[in-house]
Amino acid sequence: MTRFTFLLIASFYFNFLFAQSSFQKIDPVSFSQVNITDNFWKPKIDKVATKTLAACIYQTEIVTGRIRNFEKVARNKGEKHEGIFYDDSDVFKALEAMGYSLKTHPSIEMEKKCDEWIDKIAAAQQSDGYLNTFYTLNELEKRYTDMSMHEDYNAGHMIEAGVAYFNATGKRKLLEVCIRWADHFDAIFGPTKRHWVTGHQELELALVKLYKATQNKKYLQLADWLLSERGHQNAKGYTWTDWKDTAYAQDLVPVKDQKEITGHAVRAMYLYTGAADVATQTGDTAYLKAMRTVWEDVVYRNMYITGGIGSAGSNEGFSKDYDLPNEQAYCETCASVGMVFWNQRMNSLTGNSSYIDVLERSLYNGALDGLSLSGDRFFYGNPLASRGQHQRKEWFGTACCPANIARLVASLGNYIYATTEKSIYVNLFVGSSTNLSLAGGNVTVKMATNYPWDGKINLQIDPVKKSSFSVYLRIPGWEQGKTFTNGLYEFANFKPSNYSLKVNGAEVATRVESGYLVVEREWKKGDQVLYDLPMQVNRLVSSANLKFDNNRVAIQRGPMVYCVEGADNDNKAWDFILPSTVDFELSDQTILDEPIKALSAIVPVMTVSADGNSLQMEKKKITAIPYYTWANRGKNEMQVWLPTSIKNVKIND
């Protein structure tokens, strides 16, 4: 056998194994193709378009110097930079959210504001393509001398904004600014040029977006190269000037060899999202293997029940396995947003619904908690318990979270549907409509539901002509008694309910594949699918390794994790015991203008006797609300993990 013949056979065999592996390419449907009509999400999208983005604009223009820095660069009069070296990124994230919002909530005034900002950004770009107000206003000669200074992070968010605004409006001015910057960066860094590691990962995933917008492969190659640079300090001779602990930036070992989650949570999420994006475009299964291993480390040992990650405030990230305190939880909003990004990409690579389950947990709980019901107050960290010391704020010195949650909500349509040539995936249950292109022709899909409060989902499938294809409907883990956390959390005494599916009122043949209920048939215009996911109140218990949750339970209904807040319980949330025999009653309630499903139960509550000399237990009613709604009525106590033992009870006089 010749060497050529051997290599040809080996290549064929590898490709066969690759085709049979868990690697797939499922294309998420863009938010721009999805019209959201949902009773739960549409008001939030509208509120982001008005209240949240108005807050971002006010802070960017009036209160802080973020937009003024671009004006100063353009004037070139030696003025000093205002704020922090990464503040440019907040302008770009807000612009990205504004772009998404223009597609879902058209506004002449908002588009005018975007164009005004874009003009100022373009005017601040240097002749060689460089754009960073901190270095340009301070010491331009020191640019690219410190990998921890966020030059590439800022530019990555600029690229995401440029692509989003181009997709929303067709306008190329900001996109051209991004192309000039990327070409400038590519001329300096890469194979045979200078080594570089992104201090705060973001550029990697942004370059893939730029590649998809322009079809210029050098941007994809540059993203892949940046990933390959990590973990080679001794061999490549670069050094960090700011950190001794390079695990903080996930730079201990090469990306393809990484097995454990370390360091800053948001940086990690953006890194692995970028790696997944590159893997999707290149078919590099080594990235997928590494990411699956790291994903298991996150979800099996380092994730909160809310889908939040990053327990430690000291490094805004991970400490050691099972270190998940509740009251001291950091759980940055941006990290939960990053969990949504990463898990979507993992689902797109594998077709495995467990990633969407984790995405949903983070979206409805850990991420959504970061945005107030009024739309103009925010949480940076999202604790799972409070004695009344936590409150939502108008803004932060480091203000990544407000614009980050805004861009996630505004682009929610990105996460609902996905397709292959002959399949439609329904990943999230959100009232909406979309038009999809399959091999057999276009198909219009309309979804109506009262999710997350009700599990009935109605789908209307309208192909332009009769055609055969498959519809994949996710079977949520909560419907099956699965958390996909390998014992970190488990449903206690779960009672299976029978989910069902009918097409045009009749039962049809289905199969279960990778966590989806699959209907494969010839579809015709007007076909109606009724998918019923009965919802029950479930208790969850944690692994004994989570010492903060011992002798406690968490409550979940559908995708929603619940908490007990003082505002509903005589200003107390730490003075009761939740016996395992107690049943919860479901009721409609409104918090501010947010309609919710509340849970109530009669439980033992510890009180101080009238003479103050003894403690006594009394039966009282407690009310639990969805976690994302807490702290919207002022400072007060709260708990997610509810005590089943008297030693966990706290008495307030």
Q: State the angle between helix axes of 203-214 and 217-229 in degrees (0 to 180), rounded to the nearest 10.
A: 160
The secondary structure of 595-622 as a DSSP string is: EEEEEEEEEEEEEE-TTSS-EEEEEEEE
Does residue 53 come out as left (phi exceeding 0), alpha (psi in the -120 to 50 range) or beta? alpha
Q: Is the pTM value of this prediction over 0.85?
A: yes
CA distance 91 to 56: 9
In sequence order, which residues have a C-beta less than 8 Å from that of residue 321 and are 6 or more positions away?
A: 297, 301, 302, 545
Phi–psi pair at 49, nearest 5 degrees: -65, -25
Q: Residue 242 — pLDDT band, cuts 50, 70, 90?
A: low
Q: Where in the chain is the domain with CATH 2.60.420.10?
A: 418-474+498-532
pLDDT in tens, 46-95: 999 999 999 999 999 999 989 999 999 999 999 999 999 999 999 999 99
Q: Residue 7 — pLDDT band, cuts 50, 70, 90?
A: very low
Task: Check residue 243 and give its pLDDT.
Answer: 61
Phi–psi pair at 597, nearest 5 degrees: -105, 115
Q: Examine the pLDDT at 485 and tell me if it is beyond 70.
A: yes
Phi–psi pair at 109, nearest 5 degrees: -65, -40
Half-sphere exposure of 19 (CA within 13 A, CB side): 6
Alpha helices in 450-609 (DSSP H): 477-480
Q: Residue 352 — pLDDT band, cuts 50, 70, 90?
A: very high
Q: Residue 12 — pLDDT band, cuts 50, 70, 90?
A: very low
- Of 1.25.40, 1.10.3470, 1.10.3210, 1.50.10, the CATH number of 21-415 is 1.50.10
CA distance 595 to 454: 13
CA triple 88-92-94, angle to 5 deg: 115
Provide the Cα torsion 195, 199, 205, 208; round to 10°.
-20
Q: Where in the chain is the domain with CATH 1.50.10?
A: 21-415
**Token pair listed for 262:** 């370390």
CA distance 60 to 157: 16
Q: Examine the pLDDT at 240 and tell me if it is beyond 80.
A: no
Task: Check residue 451 and give its pLDDT.
Answer: 98
State the chain's mean pLDDT as an integer.
92
Task: Check residue 238 and give its pLDDT.
Answer: 65
Percent of the chain beyond pLDDT 70? 93
| Better pLDDT: 353 or 248 | 353
Task: Check residue 23 and give its pLDDT.
Answer: 65
What integer is the mean pLDDT of 436-456? 97
In sequence order, which residues have a C-beta less than 8 Å from that of residue 99 and are 6 or more positions away?
A: 114, 161, 164, 165, 167, 168, 169
Q: Residue 651 — pLDDT band, cuts 50, 70, 90?
A: low
Q: Examine the pLDDT at 13 and tell me if it is beyond 50.
A: no
Task: Check residue 613 and give its pLDDT.
Answer: 64
pLDDT in tens, 193-237: 999 999 999 999 999 999 999 999 999 999 999 999 999 876 666
- The two beta strands, 467-474 and 423-426, are parallel
The beta strands (E) that lie in 288-440 are given as 385-387, 417-420, 423-426, 432-438
Q: Residue 609 — pLDDT band, cuts 50, 70, 90?
A: low
CATH top-level class for 418-474+498-532? mainly beta
